[in-house]
Homo-oligomer: A and B are copies of this chain.
């Protein structure tokens, strides 16, 4: 299968590249290298040291004895993107080339516009480039569980059967996102749904829970590891809790910590994406999958991380701080994740082990996290 990875240099882009290192997959990739720039802008670094994209590709090719065509560029440039698609003729296009941070998008007007424009235009360009040059390619697009917000009913997967005033229809499940970034994903979902209906494109839109961890394959050598961020904008909750713990910083829970979210270890994320690739939707189908392993509150997560630290002889405090975000802290939350299970996904049951692996993995880089620990402080508010 010929796969083109948009955003190959990012957290998930590089993960999927190393995960799909087997003979079944012929990989190409592109990236603007913006993730490195954004994290620098947040005055932070990846907790896990990473090498240049040039060295990553070289090392990858020698480790796995397979070639990867890499193109440096920005998918908001249509001629660049369509050129790469013409060149690589992919069977599937994994679209991870977006700015993935809610706090970053909430900094000010210019960031709000930048994030929404960047994400929207990239996806629109992809729709046209696929339609024009790879009409049979399966677009695997990363959305987020955050698109749904926290409605007072069960969260279906993309669509739900609804009865209203005595009539029935299958309609898009309402989205109530809570940041410009999350809204950019909603816009993309709406655009992709239309593109499938109108142009016969096929797409799997993945509503992903919050991913954590970085190690996929201990035999790959640490220079092939993906990045792991812990700053307030690009450090997601479990990664951030673990980085806090490892440097004996309190685990900082936003608000009263009763807000509930869905989570999955990075290995689960990769397994799900491979399942999706192996089971494409029909031509013209816009398929939504909710991709997560576990549901819990921020408090429960904090307690879990603290307990694992204790087992590792580290004593960590939990500190509830003023919530920098406006979000419901007491709410119903019951999302479905049937669609991936139907494809064969068995969610990880050992969350604790996955968190422990992450703790062990970042331990050697403690000094690096200490040095940049100021970036843990949530100064961006909304």
Contacts and interface: CB of A to CB of B under 8 A. Distances in A.
Q: Number of copies of this chain in the oligomer? A: 2
Contact of A169 (B110, B120, B153, B163): B153
A152 interface: yes
Interface in A110-129: 110, 112-113, 116-117, 120-121, 124-125, 128-129
Q: Assign chain A's interface to a size class.
A: 35 or more
Interface string A165-186: 1011101111111111001001
A366 interface: no
Nearest to A156: B164
A178 B190 contact: no
Contacts of A52: none
Contacts of A220: none
Nearest to A161: B164
B163 A154 contact: no
B176 A186 contact: no
A167 B190 contact: no
Contact of A128 (B112, B121, B129): B112
A64 interface: no
A382 B124 contact: no
A162 interface: yes
A80 interface: no
Given A109-B125, A124-B180, A153-B168, 4 more contacts: A78-B109, A151-B171, A177-B194, A187-B187
The 10 tightest CB contacts between A and B, nearest first, are A109-B128, A152-B169, A171-B174, A153-B164, A187-B187, A172-B174, A153-B167, A153-B169, A151-B169, A154-B165
